[in-house]
Structure formats: structure tokens, C-alpha cells
Structure 1
């Protein structure tokens, strides 16, 4: 069990069941196992992202216990059980894995990562947040957000800003969010952001979202691949302030205004759109030159992304 990731288990389906039966293993599945090989994309670089691996495991069922459990910078795995009502933004320390048991939910507040390093958040549900569901800032590095589900709340679902770097956002589901994912908070923050904000977004399900999936300033090369966009409101991706975005292998359905080059008062960025599968969607724009990414990856066949992502993205 410990070597099978949440989305791998779901995607493999019957094959996994057959293997487990053959090995005579009883599956209780209180929570997904941490991925042994780590994330794909930028979070795999710069020393990798292992979260709290090797540290003690604590299971929490209340806000006070959760706040205490995640506060330090020592290695730790914090499993969340049930629904926890958070008050505002909870500061999370470095070297932390936050893993939800089945159905685990945060409501009312969110998670704040401020100058942190090496964190994993997996299999959590977020609803009715009062500020952001997740806020990453002040040069936080090596974070992995995987197999979470986001409902709706006051502001961003998963915002990354202020020089943060080496981050992967994978296999999440966003249901009807408006200001979904900001990457780079201000047009005036280039001094801190240029050369950083390197993020990989892959195999996420943007289900009836409105905008900012993501909205990018300065980051290059931001990699947006193999995501499923359906019934999108304003737009999918905006590239601004000379950001460079590689937008490839995505499945876009009823997402006609897919790419904005420039947004609001922000100057235009660059984007290379290629090999996307389009259903009732116009061809996504490309503009300028964009470099490749410094890691290996394998694209899911674009026409298969919808079935793969809807079978596996989000929390259990």
C-alpha cells in the first residue's frame, strides 16, 4: 500500500484490486499513502519534496490540535480526520505532510505557507474559506499540493506569490471557484519574483471555474499540462508581465476564451499553446517564445485527459 499513490490507485482501478488480491493484502484505506517517488515537475527539483517523511505521525480532529501539530519546522506527518473549522489562516511549518483521511475537510479558514520549505498537502477538502484556501508566499520552496478538492470561498483557492518557487499542483479538483489560482500577486513585485515562481500544474480538474487557472506574472517557464477544463467562465490561463507559460496536452471543453495575453492592467506575457484537445473551444493563443522545462515528464494523450483526470483528481 505504501508505494501506491492516491491517484495511481484510482487510475489503475481493477488492476490494483487484482494485484492486492493476489498479495492477500487487506485494504482499509484510511488515507492515501505518501508518494514514494515524489511529485512530477518543479517540486521534484531543488533537492526534491518529501514533506514530513521520517517524522512522527499525529492524527488531529480539532482546530486547536491541528494548529499545534503543524507549527514547528521539524519533520512531521499530520493526518486530518473529519471536518475542522479553521479560524483565519493557519501558519504551517516546514518539513510537513498534511494528509486527509477519507472525507477530511477544512472549512472557514485556510493554510498559510510563509518562507517555508518541503511541504506536502494531500487528500484534503477546502470549503467556505474566509481569505484564501491556500496561500504560499515569501520565498516558500518545494511544496506539493496533490489530490485535494476545492469548493468555493472568499478569495483565491491556491495562490502562490512573493518569490515562491519549485512547486507542483497536481490531481486537484476545483469546483466553481472564481479567483482560482494566482501566480504572482502584483505587477510591481518583479524584483522579488523574476527568476522564481516556477510551478507545474498538471492533471487538475477545473470544473466550472471562472478565471485564474492560473493567472501568471513573471514566472518562466510555468508548465500547465494535461489538465481538464470544462464549462469555464471568463478564461483559463492569463500570461502577463513577461511570464512564459507552456500550455500543452490539456483537454478544453466549453472553454472558448482559453488564453488571455495580458489581463486587466498587467502587460502581456508569453505563451506556447500546443497539442491541446478542444471540444467546443477555439484554438488557444500563442505569443512569443517560451523555453522548455528542466525536468522529464510524459504527457497523457490529450484526448484521454478527460477520462483520466475525472477518474482520479480530487480528494477521496
Structure 2
């Protein structure tokens, strides 16, 4: 492990402080724009991860601690599980054997465009140690033996941004078990079926009133289902995502969840929006200002709490998403 404690010239941005800007400078990540839109990417968490709640003012990750570079799974697990803040820079391809537990006040950031976690994944929080205030950015996740990332056990204030997810075993990115205030932004999901689950199961009613999640500017690229599939949560805000060639469905709201599907672009998606799915009861879902190209008719039901009661946002014109989202998602682009 390399411990970077001296001042570092500014070449990148992360969550809003000089310390994290220095961390991304060390990581050699480019701050830039989506070429078609000339869009400057966020340097701080937005959506639900930005909300002041549960004793946490937004999501800042490990900015209070030192910046350390890791190149192997042993060091990654040690620092991610430490009871003190860290900015952890992942360099190169890191092999892990199972789920690495990430506890509170951590930033885990990939170096450049080649940082990868493979063979296992990251679990935010355990039953005794919370995974609150965690930032995950600029990482490729492949070949996980379970979930690639699991936000669980009441973890809150989590920002997952500019990552690439593929070829896992179960879910690519699951949010469950009373977790809350999460933003998932500018990620590329591909080469997989079960993509993003929100809510543990039909019988886990403790998720009701939690699981507030924002999904924006993600590319669901040929993945089959769960973009996301939601139980009990309200509101889940799904806006400005690009859906392409999703064989089973786009979004599913079930078990009385409240989901707003807004200003997305659906292309070749036979069932873009479901209310209820499989054996799960119907959820409430509102859709507005979406584009449907060679896609089916969305199902809607009831009303949903407005995300603007929690945070402000301005959606992009959904017609621009097929060019701006693929140009901006994934690693090496923050």
C-alpha cells in the first residue's frame, strides 16, 4: 500500500474538497465532458445521496482520512473494513475471493481507466458495522461470485458513479435491507441479466419507507431485467437513463413501491415499465416525458411522492440520451 499524505497537484475531482480532488489527481482520472453534450460531470454526489438526513449531510466518503493506493485484494479488504476514514485508490486488476465488507466513511476510486475488481464484489455494511457515507467511482466490476456491489444492512448515503458492471453471478448492483439515500449515476451495465434490485424480497416489509434511490444517466446496455426492480421503496427516481435491447423489461415497481420514471430513452424494450412482476404484487409507478422507440406501452398505477420534495434537479432532453449517455458512462470519464 502506498500512503499519499503530502500535497498533490490538482488533476481530478471527487466529492467537493481539496483532499478528494488530490485523491483523483493521484488516480490520474480525467475530469471532462461527454463529447456530444459537452457536459461537465458532477464532482459531488447528487440525487438522494446529496440529501441531509439521518445525521449525515450529503455523501463525502473518506475525505477525512488519508489517501492510500492498493493493488491487491488483501489490502483492499483491510482498508475497506477499517473503522477510520480512507480514500482508497484501486490500481490495476484486483482479485478478490468473496464479498469485501466496506464500512463507514470510505471512498473507493479506480486509478485511470484500468482499475478492476474481479472474482468477488463490495458489500456495504454488515449487521454490526454500518456502510454509511461511501463513495464508489471509476471502477470496473467483472466476474463476481455473488453481487458485484451490495448496499445492505441499513447503509445510507452512498454514491456509485462512473463504474462498469458486467458478467456477475447474481445482481450487478443490489440495494436492500433498509438501506437509504443512494445515488447511482453514469454507470454502464452490460453482459448480464439481473441488473439492479431495490428491496430484499416480497416478505421483507422492513424495507417499507426506506430505499430512497436515484438512478440517472446510466446505460442499461442489453441487460435483460431489473433496471431497477423495486419493492416497498418510495420514491425511487429513475431519470435520464438510456435503455437499449433489454429483452425482459426495463423498470418494475412492485409491492406498493413508488417509482417515478422520467425523461428516459427506451429503445427496443418490449416492456419498458411494469407495475407488478412475476409473483410480486403491483407497485405504484408514474411515467412522464419518456421516449419509446420500437418499445412497448408502459404500465402505470397511482401516484408517487415527488423527488423534488427532497432535492432539486433538471432533466436533460431525453432525445439526447442515445449520444450523451454512452459517451459519458463508465470508467476513465470523471
TM-score normalised to structure 2 length: 0.85
Give the distance between the partners of 1:15 and 1:225, measured in 2 at CA. 19
Give the distance between the partners of 1:302 and 1:220, measured in 2 at CA. 23
**Helix, strand or coil for the counterpart of 1:220?**
coil
- Structure 1's 7 and 204: CA in aligned 2 closer, same or farther, altered over 3 A? farther
**Helix, strand or coil for the counterpart of 1:94?**
coil
Give the distance between the partners of 1:172 and 1:14, measured in 2 at CA. 17
> Hey, what does 1:228 align to over in structure 2?
242
> Hey, what does 2:302 align to over in structure 1?
288
Give the alignment of 1:149-228 within 5 angstroms.
149-190=164-205, 192-228=206-242
Check whether the contact 1:7–1:313 (CA below 8 A) recurs between aligned residues: no
Give the distance between the partners of 1:15 and 1:213, measured in 2 at CA. 26
Q: Give aligned pairs, total.
A: 298
Q: Deviations over 1:78-115 (max 9, x none)?
A: 00011011111000111000000121011110001123
> Hey, what does 1:11 align to over in structure 2?
34
> Hey, what does 1:20 align to over in structure 2?
none
Q: Deviations over 1:195-240 (max 9, x none)?
A: 1000000000000000001000000110000000001110011110
Give the distance between the partners of 1:251 and 1:68, measured in 2 at CA. 41
What 5-or-longer segments of structure 2 have no aligned partner?
Answer: 1-10, 16-28
**Per-residue deviation at 1:185?**
1.1
**Helix, strand or coil for the counterpart of 1:99?**
strand
What 5-or-longer segments of structure 1 have no aligned partner?
Answer: 18-31
Query: Which residue of 279, 283, 308 corresponds with 2:324?
Result: 308
Check whether the contact 2:35–2:324 (CA below 8 A) recurs between aligned residues: no
Check whether the contact 1:7–1:171 (CA below 8 A) recurs between aligned residues: no
**Per-residue deviation at 1:54?**
3.0
**Helix, strand or coil for the counterpart of 2:133?**
strand
- After superposing the two structures, state which structure 1 stretch, 65-74 or 1-10, moved more: 1-10
**Helix, strand or coil for the counterpart of 2:33?**
helix
- Structure 1's 295 and 16: CA in aligned 2 closer, same or farther, altered over 3 A? closer
Q: Deviations over 1:238-277 (max 9, x none)?
A: 1101000000100111012111211121110000011011
> Hey, what does 1:40 align to over in structure 2?
46
**Per-residue deviation at 1:13?**
7.9
- After superposing the two structures, state which structure 1 stretch, 122-131 or 72-81, moved more: 72-81
Q: Deviations over 1:159-180 (max 9, x none)?
A: 0101000000000000122110
**Helix, strand or coil for the counterpart of 2:323?**
helix
TM-score normalised to structure 1 length: 0.90
Give the distance between the partners of 2:250 and 2:35, measured in 1 at CA. 29
